[in-house]
Amino acid sequence: MTSDDGTAAVPTPPEEHDGRAPAAAPGDVFLSWSGSARGLAEALATFLRMVGVAPFLSQVSIKAGKRWEDELDKALAGCDHAMILVTPDAVRSPWVMWEAGAIHNQPRPTRVFPVLVGVSEGPDPLKRLQAVSLQADLTPAELKRRVCEMAREVVRAVGRPPDGFQDVFDLYWDNVLKQAVHDALREARRTRTTEQLSIALSDAEANVRQLAEQMRILTATQDDPCYFMDATYNITLANIAAYLMFDLEVSDGRPRPIHKFIASIKPQLVNFDEMLENFNAKFNSKGQAPPRVDSEPALFRHDDFGEVRMNKIGIAVPDRISNRRHPAGWVVTWNLISVERRDRYDEMLRKLVKAHMKPFWQNGATEAEDALAG
């Protein structure tokens, strides 16, 4: 098709339509879209009118002053077919799913054509239907072929013979439709990237909150050995008192399995067998959820501090990320009841704290060091 000067011209809708679709009637195609797919929906509607199909597109077919809910109901009741543009926006849109269901549940035979625009699959109501997939990694030729075949099938479903269909499509694709498809794919990718970033930030925030809760409990125990054991029974955090009493070191970032830690202190735990029996009864029972709070006495013999009596308390930390029933881990505190050589313990703990804090002090900050030593 050419203009008077011999250049290619884009066909226009039939004059009797005046650029607008007539009122929806049986045999028309309902175009469902959401958010960023508006441009593509308008381009497809224009093309369908060029080949003799009257689509229903809300922003064109509903006249000013009309109640749009009533007009949508009439269109959904009168259209035999629907083309649903499934973008990241549409996946979350209850209106799009409602429109698809209203068409699909009509008592007379209907066809629903899902078009996946930058998404791998549609929502549950549409997964049972064969869809046309338009993705950014497709070649230009393959994108054109898929859109062409989809449009041809829609025209056939309406029952109008596609005379001259290919010539009209080729010209309109080059001038309008190709750009509309690429714009929709670009917007879909932008929306998907934004969603992924939002999810990542949400997960990171939940992780920070969970870690902060663990650290709050750890730092609340100044003198008592304390550590965090994750859901796989690995110790990932420990305070200075745990290093002093048990030589428990995890500052290198490498988790320490709980069974290795227990094995290392077993020779000094006088009531080890009793504690092991308690642990197996509470944590290794099949079909029984681990306790939220666990407490038991411990008698420990330390080479420097002598006999140490403690009460070992484990507190479950809820999993605030996945909301599973199983906790994210346990904060375990060995509360000191009595230490035979307490003065020796306090002196060594003070030195360790001092050494730990020194890298954070500015040069010449002797006031803080003197205060801690005093």
Which has more confidence, 160 or 333? 333
pLDDT of residue 77: 65
Q: Does the pLDDT at position 124 exceed 70?
A: no
67 or 176: which carries more pLDDT confidence? 176
Higher pLDDT, 303 or 3: 303
User: What pLDDT shows up at residue 16?
Assistant: 37
| Least confidently predicted of 139-143, 183-187, 284-288, 335-339 | 284-288
Q: Return mean pLDDT, the chain.
A: 75
The CATH 3.40.50.10140 domain(s) of the chain lie at: 15-193
- The topology (CATH level 3) of 15-193 is Rossmann fold (3.40.50)
Q: Does residue 311 carry a pLDDT above 90?
A: yes
pLDDT-derived band at 287 (thresholds 50, 70, 90) equals: low
Q: Is 168 left (phi over 0), alpha (psi -120 to 50) or beta?
A: alpha
Helices 165-172 and 38-50 cross at an angle (nearest 10°) of: 150
Write out pLDDT tens, residues 63-116: 544 555 556 666 666 677 888 888 887 666 666 666 666 666 666 557 788 888
pLDDT at 36: 75
CA-closest candidate to residue 127, choices 164, 156, 91: 91
Residue 181 pLDDT: 92
d(CA 18, CA 27) in angstroms, rounded, equals 20
- What is d(CA 107, CA 100) in angstroms, rounded to the nearest whole number? 14
- Contact between residue 119 and residue 131 where contact means Cβ atoms under 8 Å apart: no
In the CATH scheme, what is the code of domain 220-373? Answer: 3.30.450.20
* Structure confidence at residue 358 (pLDDT): 59
Phi-psi region of 362 (alpha: psi -120 to 50; beta: other; left: phi over 0): beta
Residues of the chain with CATH 3.30.450.20: 220-373
Averaged pLDDT for residues 139-158: 91
16-30, 182-196, 314-328: lowest mean pLDDT where?
16-30
Comparison of pLDDT for 374 and 330, the residue scoring more = 330
Look at the block and give the residue holding tokens 């269901």.
101
Model confidence at 25: pLDDT above 50: no
Q: Which residue has the higher pLDDT, 253 or 219?
A: 253
- HEC states along 122-181? CCHHHCCCCCEEECCCCCHHHHHHHHHHHHHHHHHHHCCCCCCHHHHHHHHHHHHHHHHH
Is the pLDDT at 11 greater than 50, yes or no?
Answer: no
Distance CA 78, CA 55 (A): 11
pLDDT: is 270 or 361 the higher one? 270
Confidence of residue 62 (pLDDT cuts 50, 70, 90): very low
Q: Which pLDDT band, with edges at 50, 70 and 90, does 192 fall under?
A: confident
pLDDT, greater one: 102 or 303: 303
Q: Report the pLDDT value the prediction gives residue 107, as an integer from 0 to 100.
A: 60
Instruction: Give pLDDT, residue 341.
Output: 95
- Maximum Cα interatomic distance, the chain, rounded to a whole number of Å: 106
What is the DSSP-derived secondary structure letter of residue 35? G
